[in-house]
Amino acid sequence: MLACLGPIWPGCVAGEPYAAGYVGAAITQDKDLRTELEINGVPFVNGRAHDLSFDTSVVFGGKGGYYLDRPLLGGQLGAELDVYHFRPDAAAQRVRFTGLLAGVPGEARTRLQSADIEITAVTANLLYRFALLSQPQFPRGRVQPYIGIGAGAFIARLSTTTSPFDENKDIADTDVRPGVQALAGVRWFLTHNIAVFAEYKFVQTETFSFKFKESGTIFGFPATETARDRADITSHLLYGGIGFHW
């Protein structure tokens, strides 16, 4: 994105690079889970678990970016690389299920096992900031509200256990999907180079698809479980941090 800005601002060597770290909370919305399970190739579960809830988790990350000094409509344009991690685990819970359950079609209340979910995002954002309370020591403004949009790769890992075996086993899979985000925040400079900030970020991913295949025994007879779980993630991230600006 910075390379694309070059033709617009030929003299954009002058600017403000920065690096920052942050920590806060990730609140993930309820989602429907599309799930399929076969035993020895025979469909056993195929349907949708409605309104699966996720834990609120800690989010932490770091970012580095660059603001151009040239003004645009009273503000300044910038771009950043933003990497963060959070864990919207799904606790064991009862849900409404529609579809094929235990080989019988219909609708029923059933209990889903817990699942550990980890998401790492590697994203890039395009930013626009405003300069408030400009002073000789803070020529770009001591207070800087800003907004941004971005996109990137979201790496998700789901870990759970098999369900029908005599002795259930741990299973896990990883999937990578694109996602988009929008953010807004405000930055307050403590010194000429050090600033604290608070930020909100809305995150929406494409649908993740996790596939599992494991062998065991059911009532002592050999069996193979093949499963697939699919869901997207919508999260609201609230966090604060500190950054160093050159």
Quote the percentage of the chain above a pLDDT of 70: 95
Q: What's the CATH code of the domain at 78? A: 2.40.160.20
- Whether 1 is covered by a domain: the verdict is no
Question: Which pLDDT band holds residue 8 (cuts at 50, 70, 90)?
Answer: very low
Q: What distance in Å separates the CA atoms of residue 60 and residue 212, rounded to the nearest whole number?
A: 29
- Whether 168 is covered by a domain: the verdict is no
- Whether 100 is covered by a domain: the verdict is yes
Q: Compute the mean pLDDT over every residue in the chain, rounded to the nearest whole number.
A: 91
- Whether 166 is covered by a domain: the verdict is no
Does residue 9 carry a pLDDT above 60?
A: no
Q: Give ∠ CA 191-236-96 in degrees, rounded to 5.
A: 165
Q: What is the pTM of this model?
A: 0.89
- Whether 95 is covered by a domain: the verdict is yes
Domain housing 28: 15-160+173-245
State the Rg of the chain over Cα: 23
Q: CA 159: distance to chain centroid?
A: 17
- Burial per residue of 174-189, b for 16 or more beta-carbon CB atoms within 10 angstroms, e otherwise: ebeeebebebebebeb
27-45 pLDDT tens trace: 999 999 999 999 998 999 9
What's the number of domains the chain is made of?
A: 1
When pLDDT is averaged across residues 61-74 and rounded to a whole number, the result is 89
